[in-house]
Amino acid sequence: SLADIERGFKVLKSEIEIGPVYHRLPERIRAHASICFMALILHRVMRSRLKAADAGYTPERALEQLQRIQHHRVRLNGGEPVVGVSTLSTEQNEVFHALGIEKPAAPEQLALL
């Protein structure tokens, strides 16, 4: 419906923060439109999964939590690199569970991070 389309544009402009970009080549216009469409679909899927799980998170708040996760790769004195993921908080675990996606996997979790 028209109202649904208008809500989609509102989400793109405000919550996803996609602004106008001016392209002149047709393939770039199609690529930009495709990226905007995928962003809107992902936002709606997140919103519906969070609501179905009764998680109490909005997509924006869930993304804020997930943006804090860090992947580290450290190499000291030319030795083998140590790779890890920062320890996940309770809120981050809740978001992964509500979205039904796997947590980031790394050989080890670095407890200091």
What pLDDT is stored for residue 113 in this prediction? Answer: 47
Residue ranges covered by each domain of the chain: 2-99
pTM for this model (two decimals): 0.71
46, containing H or E segment: helix 26-52
Q: Look over the chain and give the mean of its residue pLDDT values, rounded to a whole number.
A: 85
Q: For residue range 41-88, what is the model confidence (pLDDT) as tens digits?
A: 888 899 999 999 999 999 999 999 999 999 888 888 888 888 888 889
Convert 34-61 to b/e letters by CB count within 10 Å (16 or more is b). eebeebbeebeebbebbeeeebebebee
Strands of 18-76 (E only): list them.
71-74
pLDDT at 15 over 80: no
